[in-house]
Structure 1
């Protein structure tokens, strides 16, 4: 096993309180808390079932996005339903105080507006989150989605079904 995987398995073995005591708290959403791992990575820790769901959605989107779509996503390096480890991006909320972003100017690519809209539609993501500055960060001088685990109502139904089928398949049923 390589060092990176050993590190991720170590993180996964930590209890919630140990994570809280070892790492700096960066912020939280409704269902996940985010910690700075102090090495260019962040850990998103689920608070409960809804956080597990958001981690699963985010991982599904990242692993199923095509290369053109993936360039808009902050990379996920490790996943369990309980936690996600991803690269640390500087949140755009430190620069942008508006309630919504202009997706036509968020990235320099001419097709970025269309690409991001297609990404949101394909994965049934909650559009209000896609246009929120809190969902974006800057990584290597490029703006990327740092939070893409929230889905629209149709997406909730779709992903609950997909994840249930996967669980049943993994159980051999």
Structure 2
């Protein structure tokens, strides 16, 4: 970890950024878990974490974007990750070295793809939602019919869904 250095452009997420760079180099198998407490961290109203929490989000999103960029993630995920970066036009992505298998990175890509699918579904961007779902499927998400039904329900206007349900009920009578 010491050899990786600290990226001082991050004011609030230096440790997170360092951990991601380490994981992309060494992989999860090089991280040891412990039941011991190494540090004590308190949240209180005047702590930096609480008082400036909105600024943390921007730094975290930059880290996530850089990880996606380093993994050559599809444009649909990069566009999604860029949404919460303050002053995104001034942001210059950094490509981290990656020395782990795609199997180790697939969980991160799956997670980000599902978040993107949810976002794009909520704003009714059908094309981006579908692309995000395809990325999720390429990274281990099941291609179950219930997932496709859920995506369709989130994209089809409620009036159309109600009309379809009424038509189905008419056929049963």
Common fold, TM-score beyond 0.5?
no
TM range (shorter): under 0.3
Normalised by the size of structure 2, how large is the TM-score? 0.25
Normalised by the size of structure 1, how large is the TM-score? 0.25
State which structure, 1 or 2, has the greater radius of gyration over its C-alpha atoms: 2
- Write 1 or 2 for the structure with the bigger share of helix: 2
